[in-house]
Amino acid sequence: MSDVLTSATLIALGATEGFAFATCGMSYPSVFRGQMNFSRNILIQLFLSAVGSSMITQGLLNKFAPQKFAASRNHKAISVGFPRVVGGCMLIGAGMAIAGSGPTMLPTQLGVSMTSGLAVLLGGIAGGATYALLEKIGVFGSDFKCKDNQATVLEQVTGGSYSTLAISLGSALLAADILVVPKLLPTAANFDGLPSQLITSPIATGILIGINQIPLRLLTKTGRAGSRSIMNIVATITGGKLAGKFKISGLASATQLIFLWIGTMSGAALASRTLELPPPKGYTIAESFIGGFLMFFGSRIANGCTCGHGVTGFSELGLQSMAGAAAIFAAGIAVTVFGGLKV
């Protein structure tokens, strides 16, 4: 496939997700804090359906095209270490609660003209640049190759096959999302205070993410990785002096940037204009900047974000990613509840 066609396909895939994110409520900061204080469950329903459906589609990809899936399964070959993943993901969760945003959701929020979007972006760039500087002077290591015989994914512990485990666990997560979550976390207040034009369910949006995993893996030879695109921006701004390994040198190094910052943002903008969605009101400039900084600084410490660990790594059955996903929610809940953050 030519670079032009690949880029166009990535933009189209991103646009479908951006449109869905914008029309299921995920562009609104109150959805993030509302999830963390249990007054809404939009985020958890999208997360569970995204991970569950990704497990199913990737299980099928592994069954029918094992070599192609193996070539894109990065979390089996790398190990950042549990302390670093959990610590970094706790910073991500805290930042999400403070800013009312997420590393992967920020392009959508910018696409729908969220009032605090620019502050979150500047905070994210500052967080990414700070990490890159600390890495450059040796504070953080960057060799994430796993050790020989190190168990990094679930099937290495259980002895089962990836396809069997992933399809079984994915089906269970989807069933729980549809049948159990609404009973544990009532959905009556999910859309209170949000525009009536929201037309997509969070579960359907998550399933779309899972379906898109197959073309994304085949096109990019990796899973989705939202925070990596911020490092592309940092490398571009600094001319490669910081985050040089993320400097754009061709399509292969820009796939996540194209998918998220052109595709997802344009899809969200289309939804905003066609459905006349009011711009989401963000939190204060200080909260937005600090939250953005923590999200992207934490993402680089953990070598993955809500997308890289929460969806990609988790659905690859990565052990460290599973712990990281739990840490994101735990920290977000703690900061919201004990920090007295208002929705």
Give the integer Cα–Cα distance in Å for 190 and 322.
Answer: 26
Paired residues of 78 in beta bridges: 145
Backbone torsions φ then ψ of 203, nearest 5 degrees: -65, -45
Binned at pLDDT 50, 70 and 90, residue 87 comes out as: very high
pLDDT tens digits for range 6-64: 999 999 999 999 999 999 999 999 999 999 999 999 999 999 999 999 999 999 999 99
pLDDT, mean of residues 60-81: 92
pLDDT, mean of residues 104-114: 97
Paired residues of 153 in beta bridges: 318
DSSP string, 122-174: HHHHHHHHHHHHHHHTTSS----BPPTT---BHHHHH---HHHHHHHHHHHHH
| pLDDT of res. 109 | 98
- State yes or no: pLDDT of 188 exceeds 80: no
Give the integer Cα–Cα distance in Å for 63 and 162.
Answer: 9
| pLDDT of res. 263 | 97
Asked whether 149 and 155 are in contact (CB, 8 A), the reply is no
Rounded to an integer, what is the distance from CA 299 to the centroid of its chain? 10
| pLDDT of res. 244 | 93
- State yes or no: pLDDT of 143 exceeds 90: no
| pLDDT of res. 239 | 93
